[in-house]
Amino acid sequence: MHKKPSATIFVYANAAILIGLALYFSLFPAGIVLYDLTDPHIRNPGMPRAALRLFKELTPKYGRWAQKRLGSDRGASLSSQGISGTEWPLFGSIFYLWSVESLQQAWEQD
């Protein structure tokens, strides 16, 4: 005969999983924020550490979005009432390219 596992094992396992998830989703982001706040370039001239990290995370996503956007011809199907649907992709791309330029200049200086 096999013994059935006690219900308390499942209760403790579920509690441990929930505590782990709570710590991961609260302490990990707080740690990243505190780490970024200790960067001397936040208050002084220079490129903050977070800028390069965010750029590395954003670039592949932005590239996928841009390829999908170009292939969709969505801008051609918008009416004159949907101008924001054609403006915001352009503005986002300009801001992205300005950030690339700023990161390049900071890299050349340092």
Tens-binned pLDDT, residue by residue, of the chain (110 aa): 566 667 788 899 999 999 999 999 998 899 989 998 998 888 888 888 888 888 999 999 998 988 888 888 776 777 777 667 677 788 888 998 999 998 898 888 87
Q: What is the DSSP letter of 6?
A: P
**What's this model's pTM, rounded to 2 decimal places?**
0.62
Closest CA relative to residue 55, chosen from 44, 67, 43, 47: 47
| DSSP conformation class of 1 | -
